[in-house]
């Protein structure tokens, strides 16, 4: 597609429910990132994939958070047993790992706003 | 660890005027990138401008330009001829290139953001 897409755009979950958030990166982008953005704050890094390999998951806040990208394209961020503090916008971004230095940068999707009640 | 600080939570400017958003960062790295991203109320984060740390020349993109002071670790964004469509939250971001298998990418570290309101 032309840009990064994410679904659903909005998700309301009751505390304790599991949720799954989907990201479709720009075609051909091997690098994929997930970020968490609390209200009024800057995004914070969660995890990074290069193709299907999860090379950095240092930002995942707890073992309730799990991400996968089994075929190196679409990625899913799963949150188990959601808590109120998980309420945030979850942003996905993709980039070319071997872009020219003059074109370095990540391209973001519209995000999924998760509200845990 | 790297940190990025935006000390202006909110700013406003009259249409057609010029405004400067400030950003400072802290790092011990010598090779890195700096970015300004724009996030309108629709929430789609848009890349505005990038600066390679090893380049002394300040980056420009149409009405957007930066003042990059590497020694002072300062990276401000100047918006000239402000337009109503420039109303958004602006984030300054730092990225160290991971290199190796990860190539020319790395995780972004964002500041807290500056909300810019352009008034007619």
pLDDT in tens, B11-59: 999 999 999 999 999 999 888 999 999 999 877 899 999 999 988 899 9
Asked if B102's CB is within 8 angstroms of A97's CB, the reply is: yes
User: Between B44, B101, B111, which is nearest A50 by CB?
Assistant: B101
- Say how far apart CA B112 and CA B95 lie, in whole Å: 15
Closest Cα of chain B to A53: distance in Å?
11
Asked if A110's CB is within 8 angstroms of B42's CB, the reply is: yes
User: Between A89, A98, A105, which is nearest B103 by CB?
Assistant: A98
State which H helix or E strand residue B91 sits in: strand B88-96
Asked if B108's CB is within 8 angstroms of A43's CB, the reply is: yes
Q: Are A23 and A77 in contact (CB under 8 A)?
A: yes
- Say how far apart CA B82 and CA A26 lie, in whole Å: 30
DSSP, res A25: P
In the numeric block, the tokens 């009640």 are attached to A117
User: Between B43, B102, B111, which is nearest A111 by CB?
Assistant: B43
Per-residue burial over A86-106, b if 16 or more Cβ lie within 10 Å, else e, is: bbbbbbbbbbbeeeeeeebbb
- Which pLDDT does position A100 carry in this prediction? 62
Residue A105 has pLDDT above 90, yes or no: no
Q: Judging by DSSP bridges, how do beta strands B64-69 and B60-61 pair with one another?
A: antiparallel
Residue A1 has pLDDT above 60, yes or no: no
- Which pLDDT does position B42 carry in this prediction? 72
Q: Tell me what the mean pLDDT of segment A6-20 comes to.
A: 97
**Torsion sign across C-alpha atoms A2, A43, B76, B51:** negative
Q: Which residue is closest to A100 within chain B, CA to CA?
A: B104
Integer distance in angstroms from the first to the last C-alpha of chain B? 41
- Which pLDDT does position A98 carry in this prediction? 65
Asked if B112's CB is within 8 angstroms of A98's CB, the reply is: no
> What are the pLDDT digits (tens) for B51-95?
999 888 999 999 999 999 999 999 999 999 999 999 999 999 999
Q: Tell me what the mean pLDDT of segment A103-111 comes to.
A: 88
Q: Which residue has the higher pLDDT, B103 or A63?
A: A63
Residue A45 has pLDDT above 70, yes or no: yes
Number of neighbours of residue B2 by Cβ within 10 angstroms: 14
Among A48-57, B1-10, B30-39, B101-110, name the one with the lowest average pLDDT. Answer: B101-110
Asked if A110's CB is within 8 angstroms of B50's CB, the reply is: no
Q: Tell me what the mean pLDDT of segment A50-75 comes to.
A: 95
Asked if A42's CB is within 8 angstroms of B111's CB, the reply is: yes
Among A13-17, A42-46, B14-18, B52-56, name the one with the lowest average pLDDT. Answer: B52-56
- Which pLDDT does position B55 carry in this prediction? 86
| Nearest Cα residue to A113 out of A4, A12, A3 | A12
Q: Which residues fall within 8 angstroms of residue B42, CB to CB, at 6 or more apart? A: A110
Q: Which residues fall within 8 angstroms of residue B4, CB to CB, at 6 or more apart? A: A42, B23, B24, B25, B92, B93, B94, B109, B110, B111
């Amino acid at each position: 597609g032309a840009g990064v897409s994410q679904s659903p755009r909005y998700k309301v979950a009751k505390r304790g429910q599991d949720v799954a958030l989907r990201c479709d990166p720009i075609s051909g982008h091997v690098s994929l990132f997930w970020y968490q953005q609390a209200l009024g704050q800057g995004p914070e890094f969660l995890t990074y994939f290069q193709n299907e390999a999860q090379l950095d998951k240092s930002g995942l806040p707890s073992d309730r958070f799990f991400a996968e990208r089994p075929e190196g394209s679409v990625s899913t961020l799963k949150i188990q047993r959601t808590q109120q503090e998980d309420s945030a916008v979850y942003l996905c971004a993709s980039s070319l790992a071997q872009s020219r230095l003059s074109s370095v940068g990540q391209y973001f999707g519209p995000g999924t706003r998760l509200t845990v009640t | 660890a790297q940190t990025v600080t935006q000390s202006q939570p909110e700013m406003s400017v009259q249409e057609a005027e010029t405004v400067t958003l400030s950003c400072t960062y802290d790092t011990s790295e010598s090779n890195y990138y700096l970015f300004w991203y724009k996030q309108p109320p629709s929430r789609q984060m848009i890349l505005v401008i990038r600066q390679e740390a090893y380049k002394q020349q300040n980056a420009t993109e149409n009405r957007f330009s930066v003042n990059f002071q590497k020694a002072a670790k300062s990276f401000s964004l100047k918006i000239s001829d402000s337009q109503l469509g420039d109303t958004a939250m602006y984030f300054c971001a730092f990225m160290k290139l991971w290199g190796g298998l990860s190539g020319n990418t790395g995780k972004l570290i964002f500041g807290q953001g500056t909300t810019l309101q352009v008034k007619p």
